[in-house]
Structure 1
Amino acid sequence: MQALLDAIAAAPLPTEACRIFHGRGGLNPGCEGWTLDAYPPVWVFTSFEPADDALLAAVHQALQARWATLAPGAALHWVYQCRHPQQRETRTMAGQVPEPHVVQEDGARYLVHVLRGQNHGLFLDMAEGRRWVQRHAAQHPGLRVLNLFAYTCAFSVAALRAGAAQVVNVDMAGGALATGRQNHRLNGLEAGALFWDHDIFSSWGKITRHGPYGLVIIDPPSYQKGSFVATKDYARLLRRLPDLLAPGGHALLCLNAPELDSAFLHQQVQEQAPTLQFVERLANPATFADAQPERALKVLVYREAG
C-alpha cells in the first residue's frame, strides 16, 4: 500500500484528467489491484479486488492530507469504485460529483460520468493517441476521418480542433454517441461531425460510399460478447481498410487486450491488408508505465501505400 500512499503524497494539483497511480502496471508489488485517477475536481480510486474499511480509510486520510496542501480550504471530492466481479460498487466517499462533470485535456473539454458504470467517458490511457490525431490533422488540412467504435467521440474532437474537415463517428451505442454530440458542443465543433449509431459490420456499404478517408481510427473493445471479439473480428475490420483509405492515408489501430500482443496486430495486417506499411507504435502516457508493455494498450500507426 505504501507505493499508493506515496503517489498520493506527491501528486500535483490536477488541472486535467489524468492517471495518478497505476498499480495495474505491475511496477509496485502488492498494489496490482489499484488505480487512482483525477477527473478534476474529483479523485477516483478504483480497486479490482474487494477493499476493506482500513484501506479506504488510509486512502481517505492520504487524499485529505494532500488536498489540504494543494488546495487549502477547498472541499475534497473522491469516489471509490470496486470492479471485483463479486463486489461491484461505486460510491462517493467525500464531497460530491458535479453535474454535469466536465474535464479538460490539452484544452479540449469532455463530459464524464464517474458514478455511472466502469467506463467514465474518457479513456485516460488513450491520451497520446488523441494527441497524435490532433498533430496529424494539423499537418493534413482538410483531413477526412472515419472513427470506428467512436464511443464518446474524443478522437473526433481532437481531429476537428486541429482542422479536420469532417469526422464520421460510428458506434452502435446510441447513448455513447449522444455524449459524443455533447462533447462536440462543449468545444464548439458541431460542424463537420457525423454520428452514425450503426452496427459497423452491417454498414460497410454506407461507410465505404462516404469515403475514402485520409485517416481511419479503429479502437474496438477487446471483448464484448455479441459485438466484438478481437481474435476473430479484427481481421474483418482490417480487410476493409484498403477500400476505405485514400492513397497515402493512415490507419490508427488500437488494441487493449492483455492476452494479445502487438505481433498479433502486425500479423493480422500482413494477412488482411498487406498494402499497409507500418509507421510507428505510439507510447502510452508515462503514468501508465507497465512491467509488461505488450499487455498494455497497443496503438499502431499504418500508412496505405500510394
Structure 2
Amino acid sequence: MSTEFTELLASAWHNRRELLASLHAENTNCYRLFHGSVEGAAGLTVDRYGDLLLVQTFHAPASPERLAAIAAFYGEQLPGLALVYNDRSSPNSRIRNPLEGAELAAAELPRVVSEMGVSYLIQARHAGQDPWLFLDLRAGRRRVMQEAAGKSVLNLFAYTCGVGVAAAKAGAAHVVNVDFAELSMATGKQNAKLNDLPIRVRFVQSDVFAAIRQYSGLGQPTMVRGKRMPSFPKLEPHQFDLVFLDPPKYAKSPFGVVDLVNDYPALFKPALLSTREGGTLICCNNVAQVEREPWLDQLQRSAAKAGRTIRDVEWITPEADFPSSDGLPPLKMVLLRV
C-alpha cells in the first residue's frame, strides 16, 4: 500500500516537472503537488505554500502510514518544508485533527508566499477553514494581471483580495475589493501591505449584493420580503473596466441567496451592469455539477435580458497542477468582453 501510494506521488511529481520549473522562474513558490481526485487518491490534496507543505483530506482521514509516506517523499524532493495536516472530512467540520505545542505553533505561523512576484500571507490554521490563497485560481489572477494595467478593477467576493492585490501590482489605476467577512478583509489589507503597490487599494466590507446594486445603479432597497435591510456602506453608481466575480457555492444574504447552481444570474446581472461598455467581466463557478456550456448559455441569456451584448468569450483553464481527467475542471472561469 505504501509503495503503491508513493508511486502515485512520484507520478504526480514527474508530471509537474516542466510546470514547476516555469513557476519557479516567475517567482512562484505555491502550487498543488498532488490532486488526489484525478491522480489516484480521491479526497486528498497536497499543496506547497512556500516553506509549508499543506496536506488536506475531504472524504476520510489520512492514515498515519499515508502521512508518513507524504512526509518521506516530499522531504526528499523539497527538503525543509513544514508539514501540516488538516482533516476536513466530516460534514460542516472545522479542522478536526488536534495539534499542540510546537506543531500548533507551526500551523498557526503566518508565512509569506510568492505567486508571479506578488506576495501573499498564508496560515495553515486560522479561524476559518480554507487556505487564504486558492491555488486553482492562479490562472484567473494571471489573466487579471495581463488585463489590469491602467484600468479600474472591481473584485467581488474578494476573500483575502488576491485578485485585487495582483491587479494593483500589475498597474491597475483603481482597485476596489468587496467582501462581507471581516477576517478576509483584514488579511487582504495585510496582503496589500506586503507588496510595493503603486496605488492605494480600496477595501469595502459589505454584503456583495448591496455593493453591486449600488455600483450598477439598481439601487439598494430598504425592505426585502417585509424585512428592513441592515445598514451597508453607501456607494455611488460606478462602472469599472474589469470586474471579477468569484462567489461561493452557496451563501445566505439579507438580499436573498447566493446559489451558483440555480440562480447565478441574480449576481451576474448587477455585476454586468457594474462593468462599463467595452469592459471585461470574468465570472467563476466552482460547482462541479454545473456544466460550462449550459452555464455560459445562462449568462448570455441574462446579458440579453439586461440589454447588454457579450462581444467575445474566452475560457480560462486552471493550470497544469490541477489536472482534469476530461478537460472540464470543476472550477470554470470565463472572460466576457461586454
Structure 1 and Structure 2 fold alike (TM over 0.5): yes
Q: Which moved more, 1:265-274 or 1:13-22?
A: 13-22
Instruction: Quote how far apart the aligned CAs of 1:188 are.
Output: 2.5
Alignment partner, residue 171 of structure 1: 179
Taking the aligned partners of 2:286 and 2:160, their CA distance within structure 1 comes to 17
> CA 1:214–1:199 in 2, change beyond 3 Å: closer, same or farther?
same
Question: Which amino acid in structure 1 is aligned with residue 144 of structure 2?
Answer: V
Taking the aligned partners of 2:155 and 2:176, their CA distance within structure 1 comes to 6
Q: Name which of 257, 260, 264 aligns with 2:287.
A: 257
Instruction: Quote how far apart the aligned CAs of 1:76 are.
Output: 4.1
Instruction: Quote how far apart the aligned CAs of 1:80 are.
Output: 0.9
| Deviations 1:193-240, CA, capped at 9 Å, x for gaps | 111111122334532334211011100112235552113442112222
Taking the aligned partners of 1:9 and 1:215, their CA distance within structure 2 comes to 36
Q: Name which of 73, 76, 95 aligns with 1:65.
A: 76
Q: For structure 1, list consecutive stretches of 5 or more residues without a partner in the other structure.
A: none
Alignment partner, residue 215 of structure 2: 207
Alignment partner, residue 102 of structure 1: 112
Q: Name which of 182, 197, 205 aligns with 1:197.
A: 205
Is structure 2 residue 305 aligned with structure 1 residue 301?
Answer: no
Alignment partner, residue 32 of structure 2: 19
Q: How does 1:59-98 map to 2 (within 5 A)?
A: 59-67=70-78, 71=79, 75-85=80-90, 88-90=95-97, 96-97=106-107
Number of aligned residue pairs: give it.
292
> CA 1:210–1:103 in 2, change beyond 3 Å: closer, same or farther?
farther
Taking the aligned partners of 2:296 and 2:272, their CA distance within structure 1 comes to 16
Calculate the TM-score normalised by the size of structure 2: 0.78
Alignment partner, residue 155 of structure 1: 163
Instruction: Quote how far apart the aligned CAs of 1:192 are.
Output: 3.3
Taking the aligned partners of 1:151 and 1:44, their CA distance within structure 2 comes to 19
Instruction: Quote how far apart the aligned CAs of 1:91 are.
Output: 5.9
CA contact 1:8–1:66 (8 Å) conserved in 2: no
Question: Which amino acid in structure 1 is aligned with residue 31 of structure 2?
Answer: C
Instruction: Quote how far apart the aligned CAs of 1:279 are.
Output: 2.1
Alignment partner, residue 302 of structure 2: 272
Q: Which moved more, 1:1-10 or 1:155-164?
A: 1-10
Taking the aligned partners of 1:299 and 1:205, their CA distance within structure 2 comes to 23
Aligned residue for 1:96, secondary structure, equals helix
Taking the aligned partners of 1:222 and 1:292, their CA distance within structure 2 comes to 22
Aligned residue for 2:67, secondary structure, equals helix
Q: Which moved more, 1:169-178 or 1:292-301?
A: 292-301
Taking the aligned partners of 2:116 and 2:134, their CA distance within structure 1 comes to 14
CA contact 2:13–2:33 (8 Å) conserved in 1: no
| Deviations 1:101-135, CA, capped at 9 Å, x for gaps | 11100110001121224311100001111010001
Is structure 2 residue 58 aligned with structure 1 residue 39?
Answer: no
Taking the aligned partners of 2:202 and 2:13, their CA distance within structure 1 comes to 44
